[in-house]
Structure 1
Amino acid sequence: MTVPPTSLDTPLAGGVALFNAGAHFAAHEAWEDRWRVATDPEERRLLQGLIQVAAAHHKLRVQGKPESAARLLARGLAKLDACAADAGGLQLAEFRDATRAWFAAESPQERCGAAAVVSAVMPSPNHQSGAHQSLSGPRRPPTASSRSLRAIQ
């Protein structure tokens, strides 16, 4: 069974709106409420991945725990990597890539030294041994809109 596309009245869409507004913990809670009762394995995987990514943002930004954030992010992205690029009617592939780029590009000072932890536990699924992705230009996170979850138009 495929995860149904988002609509404005679903817990998935409600969590997306909260996440995009920067309310990562509230998004986590909204998705977790649905995850607890969901029975479809694909829907549960998508929700659990989103929950873990939201929790990683909260751990990093609010609690200042970069190592915990990196571990949660790695687990969440692994689950999202196992989902279709358009799971739940979301532009999930773009979100995964932007999330990886943002966490990799954020300065080590802002992450309290988590750069090594993040790169160690969160390789890109396209990562090949010995090959490293680099960002051209100054190291800065992508714009907020590129880290947003968006519904497929």
Structure 2
Amino acid sequence: MTWAATCRRLLAAVGALVAVVLMVGTTATRTAASWSDGATFAAQASSGTWATVGGDSCEVLNIYTGQVVGTCTVDGVTFMGPWENGTRFSVAISGFQPANDVVARVSVDLSNYSDDWNWATGFAQMDSAQNVEWAAPVVTFTTYPNGFSPFSGTYIQGS
């Protein structure tokens, strides 16, 4: 085989490869990333007490093993009205007997109690609890051992 024949075969193979790449590139399904932003609400929260609507959870955990050893009930959320740093609220639970070896892990969907807050920009913090997680509009927290209900928190209105 001559050098010219080898070059022709190599050139033909490269050309075939380029043709396949172009064909795949033009026939492949295109995808596009999309983003959808959730609805937002903005208004001033007012004081008051609301009954449980649903979506809340409460379980009793052994502090040494982390295992669920019982259940409890979220009785409701009470709002104390606005103050300079936000709106104070408290979460009342029942069915939890505080002790040195147990805590309660509580999740409260605050949108069940108020639709006046801007969930997209605000956040909640718990002042009398630990391990606080905020996934708007749900606040999840763990009580301290021997922590008694109600548990206080603050909703900070974002801008």
Name the TM tier (shorter chain). under 0.3
TM-score norm. by structure 1 comes to 0.28
More helix by share: 1
More strand by share: 2
TM-score norm. by structure 2 comes to 0.27
